[in-house]
Structure 1
């Protein structure tokens, strides 16, 4: 009999994948349909403007076609969507706030304005990007007027002199929100979102059970790559991707412990089945003891074949 045999399980899997493909599309296709560059599309997903779903076929995330239709039918499309993901650097951001570049940098270091993205330039310097829409809203709020003009309050000036810079910390908080949205409420994925902000050594210290740690690692989000592993560029990015300050680490530690406890209660980590003891009557068979007075039985004699030829004649001569 020739041909491919389709089992019920493979037929079900194929049907499910086909149905998912018909109702969803890849991120690249969705970006083209929405008139966005891929970076703009990824940021829109990051901010929760575009809903994605996991691929039932085991691939990456996909975009429901109904979501694309909803966005296309929105008022002011596509300009409205593009404005929501427009980013600016420090110089452009200072222009939106009508302040000097130095003042804008101080506001960012103090956490008054929060970056949404970053990248490393060819000099391995960190370039922070901010949402233009957020900066415009900040400038329009009259309560922020004192921060945009006049002298910086003495307390804030002292913090800046001591080296305060919460840009990376605020970015991590924002990134954690994105990872939690992507987890779709799965308890172990929720815990993995927090775990991704801690270095592996710290994670092993917090989650000491090896089976829980292994299960947790299956849900860790794919790490963002910046240069070759262990390269200077990757090391700079690592300092942004991982929590560093003791108080921040303590906060994430408590958050992770609580998340793992909730995941353990909802869905315990898989463990190997315990080794079962042999059942009664299944012990290894032994030779029955000889009856009293019976002659001892030796193993059956096996005649050894003598070598032939010259070697055989020498053996018989020496016997």
Structure 2
């Protein structure tokens, strides 16, 4: 060897090169590149400040690389973006508007302040969060000054006395707007509206079961709070579902219009029946039903009944055909019942089957009860031979372990 060492210039790794060429990235990576926390990034997506696209592989939403560059090129980035997605609670919001916490809560219950998100604390109490920009704009408007200072108008006080609380309803409206903004398919838009209704309301509005099943494919996920089935998850489910006849009626009417639009755009796929005929009788025969009198196949001289391959694979073989009025032919060793003497044609007698040694019948054997059908009664367990030894595993140790012994045969 010459003793000379050869050095190579460092080059970017293949993973980094492949990552830079990706047309879209995951939400967690997009949040890091935009300098946001994951909760702040989710709010930015709901507000429409960051656009997302569905993943081609069905893995959720992704952020295009061009969208990240557009947001980063905005004026005042990243300060303006962080200020736009900043959320505050009741205490900080009241200080921001220079009002008491009690007045801030009353304004929110009246629907004048719209929540941006919520979470459940350790006592399972709902904590509402509001956008700081919305609170600043509300306090800056002169027409809202009487609501911030002085006595609350009498009409609003009466509504609060009756228990009015529009915080959940206003949040559902904002959440529905974000779902409709992300939906790029008419059926997805209809499913977003259906996610705000109960299953009974959806069934009463959309009568077709195939359309309801198709809506379930596009149904957006409910904001997760706790494990499925937990009390926290049930509280979150109630907050997402519409309450009140006026809100429910409005959403049902909107759902009906959305389904009608989606139906015109693309009808839902339906199962295709094997051997389906263009006539009503052909549809009945495709289901294995007998056609009516005078229909093809109904008098025994038309086309046979069409069955599906699954039905044909599980249907037992039919009995041999006999002419009307003639005695059925029994092959040697056949297990079909002989006809009843003096009975009508086609009436089978008692079950009979040849014994193993020939001659006589064996009780409990398989018999034919009709054309092509057989019954197999449960046979009795054979008694053990005299003098043989039987083992019972119930409540007895296994002889395969080291700590047990094999049962004695004596």
Per the normalisation by structure 2, the TM-score is 0.64
- Residue 239 (structure 1) aligned with residue 238 (structure 2): yes
Q: Partner of 1:194 in structure 2?
A: 193
- Deviation string, structure 1 residues 283-316 (Cα, Å, up to 9, x no partner): 59xx9999xxxxx9977768xxxx99xx79x99x
* Cα distance per residue 1:249-303 (max 9 Å; x no partner): 111111111111111121111111244248999759xx9999xxxxx9977768x
Change over 3 Å in CA distance of 1:70–1:274 after alignment to 2: same
Q: Distance in 1 between matches of 2:189 and 2:235?
A: 26
2:262 maps to which residue? 263
Matches within 5 A, 1:1-319: 22-184=22-184, 186-275=185-274, 276=276, 277=282, 283=304
> 1:300 and 1:209 mapped to 2: Cα distance?
52
Sort the Cα spacing of 1:177 and 1:104 in 2 relative to 1 into closer, same or farther, 3 A: same
Question: 1:120–1:297: structure 2 CA closer, same or farther, 3 Å change rule?
Answer: closer
Q: Any idea what SS the aligned residue of 1:32 has? A: helix
Contact 2:206–2:212 at 8 Å: present in 1 too?
Answer: yes
Question: Are the equivalent residues in 2 in contact too, given 1:120–1:126 (CA < 8 A)?
Answer: yes
Residues 268 and 143 (structure 1), Cα distance of their counterparts in 2 relative to 1, 3 Å cut: same
Q: Secondary structure at 1:22's aligned position in 2? A: coil
Change (3 A) 1:283 1:76: same
1:205-226 CA-partner distances (Å, limit 9, x unpaired): 2212111100111010012222
Question: Contact 1:20/1:56 (CA < 8 Å) preserved in 2?
Answer: no
Q: Secondary structure at the match of 1:144?
A: helix
The alignment partner of 1:129 has SS state of strand
Q: Post-superposition shift, 1:239? A: 2.1
SS at match of 2:22: helix
Q: Distance in 2 between matches of 1:245 and 1:53?
A: 34
Contact 2:196–2:240 (Cα < 8 Å) also in 1? yes
Distance of aligned partners of 1:54 and 1:283 in 2 relative to their CA distance in 1, 3 Å threshold: same
Q: CA RMSD in A?
A: 3.1
Kindly provide the CA deviation profile for residues 73-121 of structure 1, in whole angstroms up to 9, marking residues without a partner as x: 1111111100000000001110111000000000000111110000010
- The verdict on how the C-alpha distance between 1:229 and 1:24 changes in structure 2, with shifts beyond 3 A counting, is closer
Structure 2, unaligned runs of 5 or more: 1-17, 277-281, 286-295, 306-319, 334-354, 361-410
Deviation sequence 1:185-242 (CA, Å, 0-9, x none):
x111111111001112222222121111001110100122222333322222222110
Q: Secondary structure at the match of 1:205?
A: helix
SS in 1 for 2:187: helix
TM-score (norm 1): 0.81
Structure having the larger proportion of residues in helix: 1
| Cα shift readout 1:41-66 (whole Å, capped 9, x = no counterpart) | 01100110001111112211110111
Alpha carbons of structure 1 residues 289 and 133: separation in structure 2 relative to 1, 3 Å: closer
Q: State how far apart, in whole Å, the 2-side matches of 1:301 and 1:167 are.
A: 83
Cα separation, 1, equivalents of 2:140 and 2:269: 53
Structure 1 residues 109 and 288, CA, compared in 2 at 3 Å: closer, same or farther? Answer: closer
How has the CA–CA distance of structure 1 residues 300 and 171 changed in structure 2, closer, same or farther, with 3 Å as cutoff? closer
Structure 1 position 131, deviation (Å): 0.3
What runs of 5+ residues in structure 1 fail to find an aligned partner? 1-17, 291-295
Secondary structure in 1 matching 2:224: coil
